A and B are shown apart, each in its own frame.
Chain A
Amino acid sequence: MIELFGVTKHFGEEVAVDGISLRVAKGELCVLVGTSGCGKSTTLRMINRLIEHTAGEIHLDGQPVRTFDEVTLRRRIGYVIQNTGLFPHWTVARNIGLVPRLLKWPRQRVRERVEELMALLGLPMAEFADKYPRQLSGGQAQRVGVARALAADPEILLMDEPFGALDPITREALQLELLDLQARLHKTIVFVTHDMDEALRLADRLVVMRQGRIVQQGAPVELLHAPADEFVASLLGGDTRGLKEAALTRVRDRMLPLGPRLLAHERVAVDAPLSQALSLMLWHRVDRLTVVDDEDIPIGELSLRRLVGSKT
């Protein structure tokens, strides 16, 4: 659990972070989002004391971070940054094993852990262990970055725009992988991004920041429905917010059981987001889809009226 109480950071005259309070529960994925220079990265880096806060308190599991030795503290917290920060002169395996080695794990245990993590992140040991970072694609390098952060099995993971430098397809794949990992590992994650789609997709709790202050926080759907002000509304996509919300809702939540009518010709998966169903309707110029399960067996139907959520 991470708690911030009235945390402030001054860089000289300039106030980068202005008295923010925030509570990230254990196992929660909290996304800080905002325009450049809003203080989100600074906030993140105050948690592992790469930047020391000027005023207020930051607690980990109820203990102020200032009471920890900073090196010990950081070894307990996973850290992933945008340009991976992998050591170019070390192999992939050595990069991943960094923190366990710093913690003086026995060599055998480090090796086993590296192997385990590479399997977890879909990097076959035989192919990647001895490669150097510059031989990797952007997506592979960032996977190694995540594996390195997870190496010593930290409770907390701090991620500073980790997918910002990747192409859209790789970025989306890694976002889904992160959700998948999180479903299994239940880490407490603070994730910084300026990409609102990424934030909406990943967040359990969304924190919108502006000029060093928190403007609004809550579950993504809450924010979409009731943005606190114009700024949050425009950040969330203005008039396209409906599509963003549709991307967060599953077909499962809106479909009806199979009725007496003939099956519609076009199909949509039960776990697909509503935005995909809408796109299929637009594309095929139809107002009804057959909902199918994993094995492509029809289990329901979805009409345009149901999709948009009108009451009748």
Chain B
Amino acid sequence: MLAGAVAWLTLPAVSVAPNRIVQGTPQRAAEALGWGVTLLASVPMLAVAVLAWRPTPRRLPAALALVIAVLVAIPLWLSAVAVSLEPSSRLGIGSAIWCVLFVSLLALIELRVRLALSRPFGWAVLVPVALAWWGCLAQWLAPLALYREYQGRSDQFYAAFLQHLVLVGAAVGAAILLGAGLALAMRRRAGLRRVGFGILNFLQTIPSIALFGLLLAPLAWLSARFEWLAALGVSGIGWAPAWLALLGYSLLPMVRNIFVALDEVDPAVIESARGMGMSRRQVFLQVRLPLALPVVLEGVRITTVQAIGLTAVAALIGAGGFGTFVFQGLGQAAMDLVLLGALPIIALALIADALLSALTDYLRQGGTT
């Protein structure tokens, strides 16, 4: 937190530009709203640093409250800057704010672990922060460059959101089905196991862009050859190669997890299930599968997070999704546009991760029926 406070006082907090083309001029926090507010704002950060110096059970909740206060204060502070600006100017978020955000989130994670907060409670803590951002964006933060970029293309934003979700969903869904089939087949045949893992490992080592490129030619040829494929929208670029590549990358973690999960069920449990007179089918459906499910879901989680990231790269071959903004932004040297693509990708990955971890934990508790 000390580092956060130092950054806050020294690094530029915002950059202000009269319009999109002109490079913004960086401003420190003190320059933007004066020293009084700046120092006042740094008090909670320093306080957290002091509290964390000798953590006691009573100090930790206080620290938690202060960190949340800092996180809530950031959008409010930005709003305060924004209202003082000319209506047409653009407000960029500067390195000081990023630093404070980063340090605060780190502190939050650390505090959650120290206080052993349950998952739902951890999320509840973030609610006021989310509310503050949402409220400020709606009310005062129109000049925020990021928001400007969003407003300029809100339709595209939702389209990208959908494309991203559908692509990830389709790839992970297919990987689950295909992966389960492969894992089951591999359990039966040792030979298939060696060959299968060999191929999947090889797929995993191909760089993603190279794989997209490799798929370009054969798919273009196929779509030219078969009309029904072309009618489906299959071509050398677009969703088809992206989906195939994502599927390829998703298969290894999926197959490996399903295979290991099914294989690692306590043999004593399987033995007694058979000894009690359960049929093969009953042993699999009532014992092996439910016991393997948490590890399988772990695989789904890893695969999903990985696929969300890879889908960003798939934008290069016209598959759409948030990656489009990132590459557009890079092309136009518009950092805020890059952020408009990157931040939702990060958020999406974090949310998917959290949801699937929660589900895994729930199943681990013995809550399966």
Where the two chains meet, the residues of A that have a C-beta atom closer than 8 Å to any C-beta of B are 45, 48, 50, 71-77, 79, 81-89, 98-99, 102, 132, 134, 145, 148, 158
CB pair B275–A50 under 8 Å, yes or no, is yes
Q: In chain A, what residue has the closest Cβ to B365?
A: A132
Chain A, interface SS category: mixed
Complex alpha-carbon distance, A84 and B287, angstroms: 15
Contacts of A50 on B, CB cut-off 8 Å?
271, 274-275
When the two chains form their complex, are residues B277 and A87 in contact, meaning their CB atoms are under 8 A apart?
no
**Could you show 27 A-B contacts with beta carbons less than 8 Å apart?**
A48-B275, A50-B271, A50-B275, A71-B277, A72-B277, A73-B277, A74-B274, A74-B275, A74-B277, A75-B277, A77-B277, A79-B272, A79-B276, A81-B268, A81-B272, A81-B275, A85-B266, A85-B268, A85-B269, A85-B273, A88-B266, A88-B291, A88-B366, A99-B276, A102-B278, A134-B366, A158-B275
Q: How far is the CA of A277 from the CA of B48 in the complex (A)?
A: 72
Interface string of B274-302 (1 = CB under 8 A from A): 11111100100001001100000000000
What is the bound-complex CA distance between A208 and B335, given in angstroms?
Answer: 82
Given A85-B271, A87-B287, A102 contacting B277 (CB threshold 8 A): yes
Knowing A85-B268, A89-B368, the reply to whether A71 touches B291 (Cβ < 8 A) is no
CA gap between A194 and B268 in the complex, in Å? 19
Nearest chain A CB to B256 CB, angstrom units: 23
Q: How far is the CB of A96 from chain B (nearest CB, A)?
A: 11
Neighbouring B residues of A87 by C-beta, 8 Å: 269, 273, 287, 291
B interface residues, tally (CB under 8 Å):
18
Q: Contact: B277 with A85, CB < 8 Å?
A: no
A134 and B272 alpha carbons, distance in the complex (Å)? 16
Return the chain A residue nearest B279 by Cβ. A71
A123 and B279 alpha carbons, distance in the complex (Å): 29
Task: Name B residues whose Cβ lies closer than 8 Å to a Cβ of A.
Answer: 266, 268-269, 271-279, 282, 287, 290-291, 366, 368
Interchain nearest-CB distance for A165 vs B (Å): 10
A89 and B275 contacting across the interface, CB-CB below 8 Å: no
The B contact surface, by secondary structure, is: helix
Which residue of A is nearest B291, CB measured? A89
Q: How far is the CA of A75 from the CA of B277 in the complex (A)?
A: 5
Distance of B296 from chain A, by nearest CB (Å): 14
**Which residues of chain B are near A76, meaning CB under 8 Å?**
277
Nearest opposing residue in chain A for B363, CB measure = A89
Give Cα A50 to B272, complex, Å: 10
Cα A74 to Cα B274 with chains together (Å) = 8
Q: A85-B268, A88-B291, A89-B290 are in contact. List 5 more A-B contacts (CB 8 A).
A: A50-B275, A81-B272, A81-B275, A87-B273, A102-B276
| Closest A residue, CB atoms, query B367 | A89
Name the A residues within 8 Å of B282 (CB-CB): 102
Q: Which residues of A sit under 8 angstroms from B287, Cβ to Cβ?
A: 87
- Note all chain A residues with C-beta closer than 8 A to B368: 89
Residue of A nearest to B274 (CB): A50
CA distance A73 to B277 in the complex (A): 7
A35 CB, nearest partner CB in chain B, Å? 22
Cα-based distance from A73 to B111 in the complex (angstroms): 57
**Could you tell me if B291 and A75 are in contact, using CB atoms closer than 8 angstroms?**
no
The answer to whether B269 touches A88 (Cβ under 8 A) is yes
Q: Which residues of chain A have C-beta atoms less than 8 A from B272's C-beta?
A: 79, 81, 84-86, 145
Q: Could you tell me if A83 and B268 are in contact, using CB atoms closer than 8 angstroms?
A: yes
Name the residue of chain B whose CB is nearest to the CB of A83.
B268
**Given A81-B268, A88-B291, A132-B366: A99 and B275 within 8 A (CB)?**
no
Point out the residues of chain A lying under 8 angstroms from B291, CB to CB.
87-89
- How many whole Å from B287's CB to the nearest CB in chain A? 6
Partner of B277, one of A88, A99, A134, A158: A99
Alpha-carbon separation in the docked complex, A72 to B279 (Å): 9
Which B residues are CB-close (under 8 A) to A89? 290-291, 366, 368
In the complex, what distance in Å separates the CA atom of A88 from the CA atom of B290? 10
Complex CA distance for A84 and B269, rounded to whole angstroms: 8
List of A residues within 8 angstroms of B290 by Cβ: 89
- How far does the alpha carbon of A74 sit from the alpha carbon of B276 in the complex, in Å? 6
Nearest Cβ distance between residue A41 and chain B, in whole angstroms? 11
Q: Which residues of B contact A83 (CB under 8 A)?
A: 266, 268
Q: Is the CB of A85 within 8 A of B275?
A: yes
A219 to chain B, nearest CB (A): 29
Nearest residue, chain A, Cβ from B293: A89
Residues of chain A lying within 8 A (CB to CB) of residue B276? 74-75, 79, 98-99, 102, 148
**Which B residues lie within 8 Å of A132 (CB)?**
366
CA gap between A87 and B278 in the complex, in Å: 13
How long is the Cα–Cα vector from A45 to B368 in the complex, in angstroms?
A: 31
A148 to chain B: which residues have CB within 8 Å? 276
Most buried by B among A89, A102, A145: A89
Complex CA–CA separation, A134 to B269 (angstroms): 13
Q: Please, which residues of chain B bring their CB within 8 A of the CB of A88?
A: 266, 269, 291, 366
> Which residue on chain A has the smallest CB distance to residue B282?
A102
Nearest chain-B residue to A134 (Cβ)? B366
What are the residues of chain B within 8 A of A48 when measuring CB–CB? 275
Q: How far, in whole Å, are A98 and B218 apart by their CA atoms in the complex? A: 54
Determine the residue in chain B with the shortest Cβ distance to A94. Answer: B369
> Is B278 touching A71 in the complex (CB atoms < 8 A)?
yes
A85 to B276, CA, bound (A): 10
**B contact residues around A86 at 8 Å (CB):** 269, 272
Query: Do A81 and B277 have beta carbons less than 8 Å apart?
Result: no
Bound CA–CA A79/B366 (angstroms):
24
Q: Chain B contacts of A85 at CB under 8 A?
A: 266, 268-269, 271-273, 275
Complex CA distance for A158 and B278, rounded to whole angstroms: 16
| Most A Cβ at <10 Å: residue of B268, B271, B277, B282 | B277
For residue B288, give the distance in angstroms from its CB to the closest CB of chain A.
10
The residue on B at minimum CB distance from A45 is: B275
